[in-house]
Amino acid sequence: MTSRQIRLALRAYGVGGPGQHNLWKDPRVPKNASIDIDWYIAQAKAAEHALFDALFIVDSQFIDATYPPHYLNRLEPLTLLSAVATHTRHIGLVGTLSSTYNSPFNVARRFASLDHISHGRAGWNVVTSFDTGTSRNYGLDEHLDYATRYGRALEHVQVVRGLWDSYEDDAFPAAGDVFLDPSKLHALNHAGEHFRVDGPLNLSRSPQGQPVIFQAGVSEEGRNLAAHVAEGIYAPGGTLEATREYYADIKRRAAALGRDPDHVVIFLGAQPVVAGTDEEALRLSREIFEADNDFGRKLGQFGRAFGAHDFSQYDLDAPFPDVAHLAEKSGRTRGTEIIRRATSEGLTLRETVLAFTRYQPSPFTGAPDTVAATIAAWFEAGAFDGLNVGFRTHEDLSRFVADVVPLLQKQGLFRTGYEHDTLRGHLGLPIPANRWSVAS
């Protein structure tokens, strides 16, 4: 048995991550990077060359003109990943798709198709949608409340998994006169609180049995969903203490439900900043922050946690406004924390925005050996199973791969070759038995 190793996912850049609002000004980045498929293929290939577990694509479905550049113009995740699939052979392909604004049959088909096209490398990052405005792009006046969103999410995943098992693995003998053995094709006939889906799905299972279920969302409801169905988690970064607590909490919840905690692989979001020396890296990190330190923009983005609420209507120097009724919207966790702190510390709106957007270097900032040592220490301390790393440019990824990854490999903390062809294989996840196949 090999000892526990770190997992690495690449959160494709050009999309997502802090400090990217002015990335389009960087001469090394094409101005249309976020819609340039070659830009993504190049990242996927670089990450695969570096033996990463997965490429990770986040998503959003609502914008207005205040949104950061990479949100404004972005490719739909599955369309993107399908194009990437045929240019790679090992790396996992995880796409974010909202369970709130998609139908299970469609989601099941699309991920199962990606799973076939990639020969077993697909993963679905289940989110309930952060941007409340999405509801108005899908015929609803209001974003669904937490209970409904997460209730729907759990049932959604269960239905999708049911559809993925429509065919038993030996359903197609394709011999003699028998193409399909009809006894091995199963309708689902699901009728639940949120969905009625009869099935069967018109797709067989892939080499990994079912795409891997990821989840992102940290509320009580989000953790509960994760404990029930997530096999991978995209968790937000934070202090060592906070991330260890989160990690232990999720593993505990999964175990309490009778699941093997090793089968919930927790990826921490990280934006490493690597340079020749620690000082240089910190200077670089500060520079990136300062270049993008525009209060007006921050105020615009600040509203996202409260359902794209327009905070420019308030006096910046008056006490933080009463927006408690909006904190249940996009993300209760963050909204509640903002309100709690503003209230308990008696902050003005301006002070609150500054407090929550202040300079906070990534814990993985420094010379290569510093960054490698910090990663190793956090890993050993139980803060994560893997990192979901994002970078500003190809060069930053290359530097991380060339200088940091080998130090992790030297300590036996990262693979030195792919041992598997599927995402499940990389993550040490079992192939789910088909629910219809009886052990004989």
Ligand X SMILES: Cc1cc2nc3c(=O)[nH]c(=O)nc-3n(C[C@H](O)[C@H](O)[C@H](O)COP(=O)(O)O)c2cc1C
Binding site for a second copy (CB under 8 A): 24, 31-32, 35, 37, 41, 60-65, 69, 71-76, 78-80, 82-83, 85-87, 101-103, 105-106, 109-110, 112-114, 116-117, 133, 136-139, 167, 172, 174, 179-180, 182, 185, 187, 195-200, 202-204
For residue 68, how many other CB atoms are within 10 A of its CB? Answer: 21
State the binding partner of 157 from a second copy, ligand X, none, CB within 5 to 8 A by kind: none
Nearer CB in complex with ligand X: 131/165? 131
Nearer CB in complex with a second copy: 141/322? 141
State the binding partner of 218 from ligand X, a second copy, none, CB within 5 to 8 A by kind: ligand X
The interface region with ligand X, picked from 47-55, 211-219, 276-284, 431-439 by CB under 6 A, is 211-219
Name the token pair of 200.
Answer: 């069967």
| Cα(139)–Cα(101) distance, integer angstroms | 10
**309 sits near ligand X (criterion: CB under 6 A):** no
**67 sits near ligand X (criterion: CB under 6 A):** no
Label residues 92-105 b or e (16+ Cβ within 10 Å = b): bbbbbbbbbbbebb
DSSP sequence for 212-250: EEEE---SHHHHHHHHHH-SEEEE----HHHHHHHHHHH
Q: Determine the distance from the C-alpha atom of residue 283 to the mean position of all C-alpha atoms in its chain, rounded to a whole number.
A: 29
Q: How far is the CB of 10 from ligand X (least distance, A)?
A: 15
Q: Are strands 265-270 and 386-390 parallel, antiparallel or unpaired?
A: parallel
Task: Establish how many alpha carbons lie within 13 A of residue 409's alpha carbon, considering only the half-sphere containing its beta carbon.
Answer: 14
| Cα(252)–Cα(401) distance, integer angstroms | 33
**269 sits near ligand X (criterion: CB under 6 A):** yes
**96 sits near ligand X (criterion: CB under 6 A):** yes
| Calculated CA dihedral for residues 204, 210, 211, 215, nearest 10 degrees | 140
Helix (H, G, I), strand (E, B) or coil at 270: strand
**59 sits near ligand X (criterion: CB under 6 A):** yes
State the binding partner of 63 from a second copy, ligand X, none, CB within 5 to 8 A by kind: a second copy
Nearer CB in complex with ligand X: 60/365? 60
Query: Which parts of this chain interact with ligand X (CB under 6 A)?
Result: 58-60, 96, 98, 127-130, 216-219, 221-222, 234-236, 269, 331-333
